[in-house]
């Protein structure tokens, strides 16, 4: 108790002291966000001049400053490289881990410090050694002087260091030809991840890896999915002339998960260069029985649009229970949005370290059932988020959602039993990155979902560039009707946007934001691309760190309103906030409409991951800097801003004239919608808010990271 009292007193004194009387360390630890922000900004502006002070903050006596110091270093960017290299010699494992983690994202500026990165490959801490391989991989072909060191690292005792070494060689490409024999030997590694990464690297080397063809043919029979897929892709890239390779690939094409990759490889072996096409739609045998281009989107019971009528309470109190009808515990790290249908409320969460969809009774929160998605061993490290983030779609007695393990499932709403399941990895060769989170879009008898196909574990390249980004599935059987590659091998990180439908002059379009930053419009019946728009400036570079304009993905779903399409650019929240872009586009076009259909561009908003809302000529957006923006929907001009001081992940909810905005700090801000900003309430919840509430009548169903609440006037 004495320690607690001292800590509380210290915190209160920091909050009460004037900024002028505080030391730099105290300002960084202040409870006042404005004081903290000013201290951090001053150190960032100092850039190289701030490095000696930042190094002092990373000593053992300043352990409470370590996290914020690395955040400042991240914002400083390339000028901090000398300090980071120096920190690679620090005695603390945590400091070395922090330093090498920052160096990963500073490529290509790290090209000249490769000797230090090669030395870090020998670090006694396997995390440091693995991230050193990732940092070299981030340099791509510029890391060719480090091929020899990476070859030696293929024999590292830790399997994931070996995985990252092989992936780094894959990113170097043909210049890594000297590694061919070592990579061929790695195809016999006991760890499946090393085997598929070795296949990936051999394919990247290309024709110079001919000597590894026999081992790659053997790898087509590996027990693990991704080893087989990447072996087929490697053979297509190497283009061996042997009959044995052709026969092995023809046999592999009988495996549904390998069919696309094996067919592509056979075309390459036959000399067909058109096999390189990126944008491809593959209709399945049942194509044509889904939906017409003018058919309306199916009604989603309880699937709440972000703008609704109703009069929910503007405030509540979790401590006293005011306006709280009931609350129930969820798993840790809940990201899913509740959906109410009939007498049940459904929400994605986690249970026992796996993704789960839970069902509760509406009237009292009583538990009904849950559907679990156990980990699937595909030869991957468990780097997929073990939490269900997909918003389900309910129709009658059927519920459809995407599991944390990349399955699209149909469930019976009464029992929770699985009616059918589509494994997008096992059937379509998808390589999901970090999370599979697509909402389910119904169009007639079709269900459209993103597959979350993305980069490899080392963040160096897309290992399944010919796997689909978007698929249409028959809701009755789970059969794939069509698939579209979309971003293909150009995904910057992951693909975490969800498709939406837009009725454009009587013709239905499906809008999907890609992990490459392109918005694509598809015909829902056939999957053929109608138009596409590039959300990145042509000279933009991928710079996954805070405070800089980076080439970006589209993570928030696009918004269609009043004849315009709005898209907000963003990056994974782990990369922090930075300058970004929002566009308004006319959907009346064909082909590349980047120049011809742009209506306006806004540079006023930070990176966005939650879907905006348009109402009465105003566009409301929340960004990762914690700012709520109100823009004029016709011009993009800023109308007002409001600071919540913590990153906004969730989409917003507009209920009548009340705008609900949750942030990562657990604060729900309620604002009056309109051209004049008015704050109605700021409500502290028990945990972070990663999803918006759903409105049913005059009641809100709200999930925090830990609990599900029913909120209504009592």
pLDDT per residue as tens digits for the range 140-157: 999 999 999 999 999 999
pLDDT band at 19 (very low <50, low <70, confident <90, very high): very low
Q: Please determine, for residue 287, whether its predicted confidence score (pLDDT) is greater than 70.
A: no
pLDDT per residue as tens digits for the range 473-486: 999 999 999 999 99
The pLDDT of residue 2 is 36
Q: Does residue 345 lie within any of the structural domains?
A: yes
Q: Does residue 640 lie within any of the structural domains?
A: yes
pLDDT per residue as tens digits for the range 56-108: 999 999 999 999 999 999 999 999 999 999 999 999 999 999 999 999 999 99
- Tell me the C-alpha distance between 489 and 467, whole Å: 9
The pLDDT of residue 283 is 60
How far apart, in Å, are the Cα atoms of 240 and each of 180, 214, 244, 255, 263? 15, 10, 9, 21, 15
Mean pLDDT of 99-119: 96
The pLDDT of residue 352 is 85
> Contacts from 77-81 at CB under 8 Å and sequence distance 24+?
77/106, 77/109, 77/543, 77/545, 77/547, 77/548, 78/106, 78/109, 79/47, 79/48, 79/51, 80/47, 80/48, 80/51, 80/54, 81/106, 81/109, 81/110, 81/113
pLDDT band at 309 (very low <50, low <70, confident <90, very high): confident
Q: Does residue 610 lie within any of the structural domains?
A: yes
Q: Please determine, for residue 282, whether its predicted confidence score (pLDDT) is greater than 80.
A: no
Taking residue 293's Cβ as centre, other Cβ atoms within 10 Å add up to: 16
pLDDT per residue as tens digits for the range 493-537: 999 999 999 999 999 999 999 999 999 999 999 999 999 999 999
Q: Does residue 471 lie within any of the structural domains?
A: yes
Nearest C-alpha neighbor of 624 from the set 683, 573, 564, 676: 573
Dihedral over Cα of 625, 614, 511, 586: its sign: negative
SS3 state at 95: helix
The pLDDT of residue 279 is 43
pLDDT band at 258 (very low <50, low <70, confident <90, very high): confident
Dihedral over Cα of 8, 10, 14, 18: its sign: positive
pLDDT per residue as tens digits for the range 386-409: 899 999 999 999 999 999 999 999
Q: Does residue 578 lie within any of the structural domains?
A: yes
CATH number at 371 reads 2.130.10.10
- Tell me the C-alpha distance between 154 and 132, whole Å: 13
The pLDDT of residue 650 is 87
The pLDDT of residue 333 is 87
The pLDDT of residue 11 is 36
Percent of the chain's residues with pLDDT above 90: 83
Q: Does residue 84 lie within any of the structural domains?
A: no
Higher pLDDT pick, 518 / 332? 518
Asked if residues 202 and 194 have their Cβ atoms less than 8 Å apart, the reply is: no
Q: Does residue 421 lie within any of the structural domains?
A: yes
Burial group, residue 490, by CB count within 10 angstroms (0-12, 13-18, 19+): middle
The pLDDT of residue 291 is 54
- Tell me the C-alpha distance between 217 and 571, whole Å: 38
The pLDDT of residue 98 is 97
pLDDT band at 17 (very low <50, low <70, confident <90, very high): very low
Nearest C-alpha neighbor of 452 from the set 423, 484, 494, 491: 494
Buried b (16+ CB within 10 A) or exposed e, 9-28: eeeeebeebeeeebeebbbb
Higher pLDDT pick, 272 / 280? 272
The pLDDT of residue 10 is 35
Q: In the predicted model, what is the mean pLDDT of the chain?
A: 91
Mean pLDDT of 552-581: 96
Q: Please determine, for residue 561, whether its predicted confidence score (pLDDT) is greater than 90.
A: yes
Residue 687, domain extent? 307-711
The pLDDT of residue 274 is 56
Residues 6+ apart with CB under 8 A from 367: 328, 358, 359, 360, 361
pLDDT band at 381 (very low <50, low <70, confident <90, very high): low
How far apart, in Å, are the Cα atoms of 583 and each of 499, 522, 603? 17, 19, 9
Local structure of residue 146 (DSSP, 8 states)? G
Higher pLDDT pick, 383 / 162? 162
pLDDT band at 304 (very low <50, low <70, confident <90, very high): very low
Name which of 290-304, 422-436, 644-658 the model is least confident about.
Answer: 290-304
Residues 6+ apart with CB under 8 A from 508: 291, 293, 294, 295, 296, 297, 443, 501, 502, 524
CA angle 587, 588, 592 (to 5 degrees): 80
- Tell me the C-alpha distance between 639 and 642, whole Å: 11
pLDDT band at 377 (very low <50, low <70, confident <90, very high): confident
pLDDT band at 257 (very low <50, low <70, confident <90, very high): confident
Asked if residues 582 and 568 have their Cβ atoms less than 8 Å apart, the reply is: yes
Percent of the chain's residues with pLDDT above 70: 91
Q: In what order do the strands lie in the sheet with 507-513?
A: 500-504, 507-513, 518-522, 529-534, 591-592
The pLDDT of residue 293 is 46
Taking residue 167's Cβ as centre, other Cβ atoms within 10 Å add up to: 30
Paired with 32 in beta bridges are none
Asked if residues 248 and 450 have their Cβ atoms less than 8 Å apart, the reply is: no
Q: Does residue 433 lie within any of the structural domains?
A: yes
The pLDDT of residue 34 is 87
For the chain, the farthest-separated pair of C-alpha atoms sits apart, in whole angstroms, at 79
The pLDDT of residue 499 is 97
- Tell me the C-alpha distance between 357 and 495, whole Å: 21
The pLDDT of residue 278 is 40
Buried b (16+ CB within 10 A) or exposed e, 239-249: bbeeeebbebb
Domain count for the chain, please give it: 1
pLDDT per residue as tens digits for the range 226-249: 899 999 999 999 999 889 999 999
């Amino acid at each position: 108790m004495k320690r607690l009292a001292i800590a509380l007193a210290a915190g209160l004194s920091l909050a009460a002291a004037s900024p002028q009387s505080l030391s730099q360390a105290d300002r960084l630890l202040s409870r006042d966000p404005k004081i903290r922000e000013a201290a951090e900004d001053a150190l960032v502006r100092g850039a190289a001049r701030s490095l000696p002070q930042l190094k002092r903050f990373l000593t053992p006596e300043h352990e409470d400053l370590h996290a914020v110091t690395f955040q400042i270093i991240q914002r400083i960017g390339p000028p901090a490289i000398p300090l980071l290299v120096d920190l690679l010699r620090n005695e603390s494992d945590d400091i070395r881990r922090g330093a090498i983690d920052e160096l990963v994202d500073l490529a290509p500026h790290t090209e000249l410090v490769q000797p230090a990165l090669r030395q870090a490959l020998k670090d006694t801490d396997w995390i440091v050694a693995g991230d050193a391989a990732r940092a070299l991989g981030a340099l791509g072909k510029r890391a060719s002087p480090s091929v020899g060191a990476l070859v030696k690292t293929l024999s590292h005792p830790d399997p994931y260091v070996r995985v990252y070494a092989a992936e780094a060689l894959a990113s170097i490409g043909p210049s890594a030809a000297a590694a061919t024999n070592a990579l061929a030997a790695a195809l016999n590694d006991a760890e499946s991840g090393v085997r598929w990464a070795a296949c990936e690297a051999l394919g990247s080397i290309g024709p110079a890896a001919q000597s590894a063809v026999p081992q790659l043919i053997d790898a087509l029979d590996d027990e693990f999915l991704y080893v087989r897929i990447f072996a087929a892709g490697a053979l297509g890239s190497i283009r061996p002339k042997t009959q044995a390779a052709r026969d092995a690939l023809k046999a592999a094409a009988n495996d549904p998960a390998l069919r696309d990759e094996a067919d592509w490889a056979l075309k390459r072996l036959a000399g067909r260069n058109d096999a390189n096409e990126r944008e491809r739609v593959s209709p399945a045998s049942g194509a044509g029985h889904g939906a017409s281009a003018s058919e309306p989107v199916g009604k989603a019971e309880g699937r709440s649009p972000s703008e609704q009528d109703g009069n929910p309470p503007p405030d509540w109190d979790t401590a006293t229970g005011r306006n709280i009808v009931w609350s129930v515990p969820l798993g840790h790290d809940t990201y899913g949005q509740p959906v109410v249908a009939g007498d049940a409320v459904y929400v994605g969460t986690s249970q026992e370290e796996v993704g789960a969809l839970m069902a509760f009774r509406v009237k009292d929160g009583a538990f009904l059932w849950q559907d679990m998605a156990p980990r699937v061993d595909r030869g991957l490290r468990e780097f997929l988020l073990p939490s269900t983030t997909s918003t389900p779609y309910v129709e009658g007695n059927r519920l459809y959602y995407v599991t944390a393990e990349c399955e699209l499932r149909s469930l019976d709403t009464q029992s929770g039993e699985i009616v059918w399941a589509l494994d997008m990895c096992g059937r379509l060769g998808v390589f999901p990155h970090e999370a599979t989170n697509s909402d389910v879009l119904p169009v007639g008898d079709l269900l459209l979902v993103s597959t979350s196909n993305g980069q490899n574990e080392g963040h160096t390249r897309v290992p399944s560039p010919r796997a689909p980004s978007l698929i249409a599935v028959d809701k009755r059987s789970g059969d794939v009707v069509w698939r579209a590659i979309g971003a293909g091998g150009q995904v910057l990180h992951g693909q975490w946007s969800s498709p939406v439908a837009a009725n454009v002059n009587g013709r239905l379009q499906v809008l999907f934001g890609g992990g490459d930053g392109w918005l694509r419009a598809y015909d829902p019946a056939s999957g053929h691309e109608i138009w596409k728009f590039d959300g990145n400036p042509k000279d933009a570079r991928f710079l996954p760190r805070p405070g800089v304009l980076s080439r970006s993905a589209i993570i928030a779903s696009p918004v269609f309103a009043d004849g315009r399409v709005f898209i907000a650019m963003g990056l994974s929240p782990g990369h922090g906030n930075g300058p970004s872009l929002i566009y308004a586009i006319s959907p009346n076009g064909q082909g590349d409409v980047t120049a011809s259909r742009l209506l306006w561009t806004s540079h006023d908003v930070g990176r966005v991951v939650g879907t905006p809302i348009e109402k009465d000529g105003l566009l409301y957006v929340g960004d990762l800097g914690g700012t709520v923006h109100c823009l004029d929907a016709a011009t993009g001009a800023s109308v007002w801003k409001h600071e919540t001081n913590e990153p906004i992940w969730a989409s917003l909810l507009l209920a009548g004239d009340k705008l609900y905005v949750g942030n990562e700090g657990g604060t729900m801000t309620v604002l009056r919608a309109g051209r004049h900003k008015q704050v109605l309430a700021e409500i502290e919840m028990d945990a972070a808010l990663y999803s918006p509430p759903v409105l049913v009548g005059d009641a809100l169903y709200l999930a925090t990271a830990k609990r599900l609440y029913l909120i209504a006037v009592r």
